[in-house]
Amino acid sequence: MSELVVTAGWYMALAALLFSIGAIGLLTRRNALVMFMSIELMLNSVNLTFVAVGKELRTLEGQIATLFVIVVAAAEVTVGLAIIVAVFRRRETASVDELSEMRG
Amino acid sequence: MFPVLAFLVGLPVLAAIAIVLIPKSRSELLLPVAFGLSLLPLAVAGYMVWTFDTAGGFQWVESIIWMERLRIGWTVGVDGISLFLVALTAFLFPISILASAKISDRLRGYLVSLFILETGVLGVFIALDLVLFFVFFEIVLIPMFFMIGIWGSSNRKYAAIKFFVYTAFGSAFLLASIIALAVNAGPVLQTVSFQWNDLAQVPMTSAAQTWLFFGFAIAFAIKVPLFPLHTWLPDAHTEAPTAGSVLLAGVLLKMGTYGFIRFNLTLFPEATVKYGKWLALVAVIGIVYAALVATVQPDIKRLVAYSSVSHLGFIVLGTFALTLSSVQGGLIQMVNHGLSTGALFLLIGMIYERTHTRKIADYGGLASTMPIFSGFFLLAVFASIGLPGLNGFIGEFMVLIGSWQTFPVLTVVAASGVVLSAIYVLWAYERVFTGPPGKANKDLEDLNSREIAILVPIAVLIVFLGVYPKPVLDRMENDVNAVISRIEQSTNYERPTFDLEGRLTVDVGVPEQGESPSGEGSE
Amino acid sequence: MGNIAFLPIGLEVGLLVGALGILMAAVMRGCRTRDWAIIAGTAIGFGFVVSVRQWVVVGDIGPQLAYGTKGIDGSAVANQMVAMDKFGALGGMILMIVVGLVLIGSWQMITDLGTRGAEYVALILLSVAGMHMMIVSANLVMLFIGLETASLALYVIAGFLRDRRGSDESAMKYFLMGSFASALFIYGVALVFAATGSTSLYGPTSIGMFLGGNVMPDPGILLIGIALILVGLAFKMSAAPFHQWAPDVYQGASTGAVAFMSTGVKVAAVAAMVRVMYLGFFQFYDDWSMAVALIAALSILVGTATAIAQSDIKRMLAYSGVAHAGFLLVAVLAARVSLDSMWFYLATYAVSLVGMLTIVGVVAGVNSGPVSIDSFRGLGKKSPMLSVAIAVFMFSMAGIPGTSGFIAKLVVFTAADLNGFRWLVVLALLASVAGLFFYLRIIVVAFFDDTDAEETPSTPTGPRIAIGFAVAVTVLLGLWPTLLLDFAREALPHL
Amino acid sequence: MIDFIWLVIALPLFGAVGLLFFGKRIGEPNSGRIGSALVVLSFFIALVAALPAFAGTLEPENVLLFEWLPALGVNVSLLWDPLSAMMTLIVTGVGALIHIYGTGYMHGDSRFPRFFTYLNLFIASMLILVLGDSFATMFVGWELVGLSSYLLISFWFEKPSAAAAGKKAFIVNRIGDFGFLIGLMIIFATFGSLSYSTVFANANILETGGATVTAITLLLLVGAVGKSAQLPLSVWLPDAMEGPTPVSALIHAATMVTAGVYMIARSAALFSIAPVSSGVVATVGALTALFAAVVAIGQRDIKRVLAYSTISQLGYMFMAVGATAYVAGVFHLMTHAFFKALLFLGAGAVIHGMHGEQDMWKMGGLRKKMPITFVTMLVAWMAISGIPPFAGFWSKDEILAITYGKGGAWVVLWAIGIVTAGLTAFYMSRLMFLTFWGKPRWDDGLEPHESPRSMTLPLAVLAVFAAGAGLINTPFRLSLEHFLDPVFEVIKVAHPPEGSTPWILAGVSVLVALGGIAYAYRRYIKRALPVEEGPRWDFLEEGFGVDELYGRTIVLPGKAVAESAAFTADARGIDGLVNGVGGAVKKLADAATRLQTGQVRSYGTGMFLGTVALILWLLVRGGAF
């Protein structure tokens, strides 16, 4: 069954796919929460890459980086949700398309 | 040695500070103090003209390198080419201040602008470091921008922005070229250097010369201004307050023509020989074109502005004709144009203060109501169209006679400017001054003593330089010769000789190159 | 190494303690802005002293790396996280000066905010700590953390004025775009890690070592990584085409906040970019330098062109900031030849911009969102000193001689030309001419237009100091640039 | 040593400057007296300096005053030789008389002192022209006399026509100067110098009839044509009559307009080796002489008759110098100076006596009212008509004889000259008859009176010269030839034919002149006055519409070109382009702004696309593809 070994390359490809999905989600959805989730998805694909590559290269760096990214993502969640809530309170909507007063 | 030039350039700065320090309660002192202080640079300039060594070369040189790595610093010096431009600058500022007696709005700022302007212009003419030159070249824009914008007339905002942006557009090319020049010379000099002296010694490929030549030329052509880059000038002139117009025409435009001689001719000799004719062509087109345009201008200030474009064409033609007489003529024409056009703008300012109109059609018959005024005007007018005996003739004549040998066809076309200038100037004079005075102009007061005091020094110089220009020409001659000789050494260019050179059977009174003629019965 | 154990991160620690101190003080002693001012001042002053101390120490013992891990065999210390070098020290000084100016200039707003003001100050201190971390980090992940620290605080700061419409929009846009950029950045780091097996800039296992020791037959993943890292940093300095958030955010955020975010982040991002690109990817210099040049060119063009059409001064400054991001990217390219030119540009631009925005705060109110250019109308008569300051800043940004902005452009463009980017220099110079349209416009409005508005805006002491300092620096460095240039010449990163 | 010759110029110059500043204070009679006295003094100094010339011992001498334009080797120095001495004497002599006349004529004018300022300035300028020893100094004087002429023509500038006439004179002169200037350029480029001594001494190196010398001489001719009001630049002189009459006498008859002749005579060394140019000179002269004489017939204004007559007489001089008869040309210049000045002053006296009336058809019968004026003018009439032994006869006849003597096509010119002579006699007789004979036709209430002493005295003096000056160069006694010998010694000067031919020719011209007078007598005295009105006469009066032709073909199109240059090419074209660039930048800015939609998702898309582009670009460049 050795030919079925899943190499790091596959993981990276998957991560790239996830990242792209996240990016496309960010660009196409108008609900701030969903967009925010897309960003989380992108960050997680980064984690996947780090872990996979770290495993492949047998260093701890990848795993440690992942930990950092998770922490940062958590912090981002806090701030992001707070901003979304603030917007929702004021405007009763989470659609970013409404937020276009400033332009030009 | 006493740093004369630093002192000279520093004086206006100190004057500006002094103006700022005058308390608000004593604002009636502003003008007298400013005038008094502006005499100091004039005194220094006078000292310089007096003690200038006619052997030529840079004098009163100061060189302090500030940024060793790029060799940027305070390197200044005055030679025969810049001497009289410095003097002209120092001369026109006190006059401009006197001419500003009617300014009441924000006088303090106005005077500070004037002094900064003076610093800038003086700096341009003495700088021997390209960055320093550029700094002064650009700094000049700021006070002028404010002068036009704050103290100008109705369309001043447009004119001020146009003036600033248009000239800065040229400066962008200039700075790019200066940087490229220094960088190109880097390998030869083993360092990046912005010193004029260093750069003037570095041989350049003709491709590099071509690019840089035109980079410099664009900036200077806009400043001069050469056709077709001239349209900022009429607007700026028309909108600027009197002193602004005087200084703009008197010295600011000369920064361009000076730049041609100081930089294009010395740094890029090969390109000068190769492409000088195109600039001469543009200059000649400008002479005729601007003269034509001037004839039908309804606004007297615009008319004089276009006449400036026309007259400065002669300077550029002479510069690129590369003969002793033509370059020297161009140089002295810079001084002369500064005086005569300066006087014209002063006069227009005086009449504007009385009538608040610049439309030629609104005037008429002023000669009978204001005889002194019209007398000065006539003098300035004839000086500007190059009437012999007045200063304008010297430059024009030398340029034309000298340029023929290099550019015969262009010179003939340029000479037609002599006719055209007479047409626009005299026609305007006719409409403004002659005929019966109209109702509006019946009770105009003639010039008062302050105004006469402003004009007399200029009038004296106009006549003096026309009759006896030798002191000026002597101080220029060796350095102009040096510029042309440099070109001859580094290119295959040779000064034109006259057709019968060496064949004259009787050789009377023909001076050897560089020697002064010796006639019998010399006093 | 023991004697420097604290010094490399002393600045960050000081600022964090200061931030916490302010929050505590707000809780324990209530709304006493004086306390906060003292604490914040102390923290910033301490940060500045630490930076100076770093400079001196580095001068004595050379640049150092700190906070590494021991190898598995326990012998060598690898994976150093923080570099202590004059590069970081100078960055720290500049940041401290900038943030100090910002706080002095916009303290009025903090007073207006009441208790929440403490949070605001604390956030600013936290953010600036993150910015400095970006400059000194010796590892890409560390850089990411610094970047996020700075950014997260900024998102909040951007939307801090809850009661004003636009503020939330500003925060939301900034947050979404910023997170996107962060994600791109960290993904780039991950790809670089995948390609080279390292995220470190220094040491035996660094990216540079790997690239120096191995020939990459297929650098695709690495190049994508480099591209993404560039995008992440370019976003922070609002370079085109990653700039579109900036005008909206600036317009919506309070003027004081804009002064901070527009200058601090730029300093941090540019410095970080220099360190990362030159130390990490020098082997790919030919590739990424062209990429940087293209971004620079696009930023200069887009920023200049768009700024011309603005009628809101903060938007105008935002777009001018885009153009300046382009110039700063030129400085990044020039840094190969002369790093001092980059520092000079950064410092002088930051100071002028803070000064200008402080003026905007004075004229239109520090809490103001959108500020029309017309609010400057007739200022030249009402408040001549303020107007002269405006003129100085505008001329400086436009690069007119006599101001530091000119010297900055001169040294940067000379270095860039030396480095072979003549086309970029010419383009940048021509664009600066077009830039005059909007810089001059403000002067025109202030000086050439008359107004019938009666009251003269009085300048409170704080802004007065900030503006005065900024003017002094702008003019002084314009006339005597070697003051900073000679100093900055030594501000090299650890190699 | 005649170093003191600079005084000749300095005195009137001093007068001009002094009167400019202090004229008002000095007041009416005295400023005129000072001005006149200075010129008289000048005249006597010149006379003293010229004494050796009368003795035939004058060596041409240069007096260096100061160095001027070292780069061109041009100095301000004076040349004192018989030719310049003679011209100086004419200028100062006639000038002095006219100054004196002016003190009477200008009596009561509000700007009496200013008039003498200008007159003195003119004398100084003319002397610079005459005495300068290089083409450069000649050019200086050339332009300065143009200035004085401008100032004096438009002396009464409140009258728009006077102002316009002054302007026209200056501009037309400048057209000539344009040619002169180019001539100077070629001279300098050829000889490397502008001084007479170098140029004339080396002229013989040039190929006779070669392109260079032909070009130089033709260009100098352009200048001369302008200054001397020859075709096609003659249009300014009739208008110049707007100036006060003494001015017309001095500048536009006796001295300034003859500068062209002087210039050609001075440059004889060049013209004599340029046969084509000389032919052109003579042809221009002959045609002008004929043209102006015809036009003179149609004039109603007494001064305009004299103006055209001047043009016509100058044509004779051109014919002479064109025929290389330089002495004859200068001779006629001199006699013409006397009798034409006399005619003008006489006409001035008439106008003065008629209180400003200039239309001859409103005069008549004045000979009783103004006896002195009448008698002196009678002399001048005889002189100009070429009746022996008055001055004009000798000089004109010499010219005609020489022209005839050259044979070939020159005989045609001679024929033109003869016809002109007849016409001259006719129109001058017409002038005399209409003015002094017949019945008074002046307006009611007008009391014509004789002029004051200050005016009649110069008339008398001039009358003496107009009558007798011809005797200095008769075929019997060629004093002037000998006098001028040192100037033209190296040049081949044409002489009248030998033998009986001159006598026959003289007889012919006298007969023709008498015929002209007789016909005029029949037409204006014997019968009732003819009516000279209608379109044909108008056309004639307007000088065959040359002025209008220039207006239509040059002035109007020129103005149209200037207007289109100013208001279309410049304002819309060039400046439009400049503003267009600014506008385009603004448009671009607006377009760029439109990308800024305010929609965060579009910003994200922009970022995303930018990222993708960057990645692709790096990959392609990095060789990953």
CB of D609 within 8 Å of a chain A CB? The answer is: no
- Say what the pLDDT of residue B275 is: 92
Q: In 10 A of CB D452, how many CB atoms?
A: 15
Is pLDDT at D75 greater than 90 in this prediction? no
Q: Do B175 and C436 touch (CB under 8 A)?
A: no
- Say what the pLDDT of residue D559 is: 87
- Say what the pLDDT of residue B522 is: 37
Minimal Cα–Cα distance from C309 to chain A, Å? Answer: 8
- Say what the pLDDT of residue C143 is: 94
- Say what the pLDDT of residue D53 is: 78
Mean pLDDT of chain C: 89
Adjacent-strand bridge partners of D66: D76
- Whether C495 is in a domain gets the answer no
The type of residue at A53 is: V
Asked whether the beta carbons of C217 and C179 are under 8 A apart, the reply is no
- Say what the pLDDT of residue D323 is: 87
CB-nearest to A43 from C152, C162, C183 is C183
- Whether C493 is in a domain gets the answer no
Q: Residue A72's closest CA among B283, D12, C256, C152?
A: C152
Helix axis angle, D326-353 to D82-105, nearest 10°: 0
Q: Do D601 and A27 touch (CB under 8 A)?
A: yes
More confident residue, D609 or D530: D609
Asked whether the beta carbons of D72 and B516 are under 8 A apart, the reply is no
- Say what the pLDDT of residue B143 is: 92
Mean pLDDT of chain B: 88
Scan for tokens 């480099």, then name that residue: C226
| Residues from chain C contacting residue A83 (CB–CB below 8 Å) | 155-156, 159, 168, 171-172, 175
Q: Are strands D473-474 and D477-478 parallel, antiparallel or unpaired?
A: antiparallel
- Say what the pLDDT of residue D392 is: 84
Rounded to the nearest 5°, which phi and psi values hold at C159?
-105, 25
More confident residue, B20 or A99: B20
- Say what the pLDDT of residue C175 is: 92
Is pLDDT at C469 greater than 90 in this prediction? yes
Minimal Cα–Cα distance from C433 to chain B, Å? Answer: 6
Q: Do D62 and B521 touch (CB under 8 A)?
A: yes
| Residues from chain C contacting residue B130 (CB–CB below 8 Å) | none
Across the range D73-93, mean pLDDT stands at 88
Number of independent structural domains in chain C: 1
Is pLDDT at C46 greater than 90 in this prediction? yes
Q: Tell me, what DSSP letter sits at residue D611?
A: H
Report residue D1's pLDDT band, with 50, 70 and 90 as the boundaries: low
CB of C145 within 8 Å of a chain A CB? The answer is: yes
CB of D605 within 8 Å of a chain A CB? The answer is: yes
- Residue C113 belongs to what domain range? 2-488
| Residues from chain D contacting residue C247 (CB–CB below 8 Å) | 596
- Say what the pLDDT of residue D273 is: 87
Tens of pLDDT, residue by residue over D37-64, are 999 999 999 888 888 877 777 778 888 8
Cα dist from D348 to C45, D90, D105, D115, D370, whole Å? 98, 20, 8, 16, 12
Tens of pLDDT, residue by residue over A40-74, are 999 999 999 999 998 888 888 888 889 999 999 99
Q: How far apart are CA C186 and CA D446, in angstroms?
A: 112
CB-nearest to D586 from C241, C294, C309 is C309
Report residue B519's pLDDT band, with 50, 70 and 90 as the boundaries: very low
| Residues from chain B contacting residue D575 (CB–CB below 8 Å) | 231
Q: Do B506 and D73 touch (CB under 8 A)?
A: no
Is pLDDT at C134 greater than 70 in this prediction? yes
Asked whether the beta carbons of D142 and D220 are under 8 A apart, the reply is no
Paired tokens of B299: 């606004």
- Say what the pLDDT of residue D410 is: 87
- Residue B16 belongs to what domain range? 4-505
Residue % of chain A over a pLDDT of 90: 43
Q: Which of A66-75, A94-103, C98-107, D562-571 has the lowest mean pLDDT?
A: A94-103
- Whether C494 is in a domain gets the answer no
More confident residue, B381 or A90: B381
Asked whether the beta carbons of D233 and D554 are under 8 A apart, the reply is no
Q: What is the CATH number of domain A8-99?
A: 1.10.287.3510
Q: Peptide bond before D232: cis, by omega within 30 degrees of 0?
A: yes
Tens of pLDDT, residue by residue over D375-386, are 888 888 888 888
The contacts found for C428-432 with CB under 8 angstroms, 24 or more apart, are C428/C296, C428/C297, C428/C300, C428/C326, C428/C327, C428/C330, C429/B172, C429/B173, C429/B175, C429/B176, C430/B169, C430/B172, C431/C300, C431/C301, C431/C304, C431/C323, C431/C326, C432/B172, C432/C304, C432/C398, C432/C399
> Which residue of chain D has the CA closest to B407?
D185
Is pLDDT at B512 greater than 50 in this prediction? no
Mutate to test the interface with C, among A17, A40, A102 (most CBs of C within 10 A): A102
Cα dist from D367 to B16, C97, D374, D377, whole Å? 78, 105, 5, 10
- Say what the pLDDT of residue D369 is: 81
Q: How far apart are CA C22 and CA C119, in angstroms?
A: 8
Is pLDDT at C1 greater than 60 in this prediction? no
Return the CA Rg of chain C: 22
- Whether B514 is in a domain gets the answer no
Minimal Cα–Cα distance from D72 to chain B, Å? Answer: 6
pTM beyond 0.90: the answer is yes
Is pLDDT at D20 greater than 70 in this prediction? yes
> Which residue of chain C has the CA closest to A48?
C190
SS (H, E, C) B23-37: CHHHHHHHHHHHHHH
Q: Which of residues 250-309 of C touch D (CB under 8 A)?
A: 284, 287-288, 290-291, 294-295, 302, 305-309
- Say what the pLDDT of residue B312 is: 92
> Which residue of chain D has the CA closest to A31?
D601
CB-nearest to C448 from B109, B136, B157 is B157
Q: Do B473 and D70 touch (CB under 8 A)?
A: yes
Q: Do C176 and A39 touch (CB under 8 A)?
A: yes
Mutate to test the interface with C, among A27, A35, A72 (most CBs of C within 10 A): A72
Is pLDDT at A1 greater than 80 in this prediction? no
Asked whether the beta carbons of D390 and D379 are under 8 A apart, the reply is yes
Tens of pLDDT, residue by residue over C159-174, are 888 777 778 888 899 9
Q: Residue B92's closest CA among B342, B347, B450, B451?
A: B342
- Whether C357 is in a domain gets the answer yes
Asked whether the beta carbons of B318 and D590 are under 8 A apart, the reply is no
CB of B348 within 8 Å of a chain D CB? The answer is: no
CB of D596 within 8 Å of a chain C CB? The answer is: yes
| Residues from chain C contacting residue A26 (CB–CB below 8 Å) | 176, 180
CB of B186 within 8 Å of a chain C CB? The answer is: yes
Mean pLDDT of chain D: 86
- Whether C204 is in a domain gets the answer yes
Tens of pLDDT, residue by residue over B428-437, are 888 888 888 8
- Say what the pLDDT of residue C75 is: 56
- Say what the pLDDT of residue B223 is: 92
- Whether B516 is in a domain gets the answer no
Number of independent structural domains in chain B: 1
Is pLDDT at C468 greater than 80 in this prediction? yes
CB-nearest to B175 from C384, C402, C429 is C429
Q: How far apart are CA A41 and CA A73, in angstroms?
A: 10
Across the range C472-476, mean pLDDT stands at 95
Minimal Cα–Cα distance from D587 to chain A, Å? Answer: 13
Asked whether the beta carbons of B324 and B253 are under 8 A apart, the reply is no
CB of C175 within 8 Å of a chain A CB? The answer is: yes
Judged by 3 or more CB pairs under 8 A, whether D touches A is yes
Tens of pLDDT, residue by residue over C250-291, are 988 888 889 999 999 999 999 999 999 999 999 899 889 999
Tens of pLDDT, residue by residue over C391-420, are 999 999 999 998 999 999 999 999 999 999
CB-nearest to B146 from C338, C418, C447 is C447
Tens of pLDDT, residue by residue over A19-32, are 999 999 998 888 88
Tens of pLDDT, residue by residue over D200-221, are 888 888 888 888 889 999 999 9
> Which residue of chain D has the CA closest to A28?
D601
| Residues from chain D contacting residue A96 (CB–CB below 8 Å) | 599-601
- Say what the pLDDT of residue B517 is: 42
Q: Which of B409-413, B481-485, D252-256, D492-496 has the lowest mean pLDDT?
A: D492-496
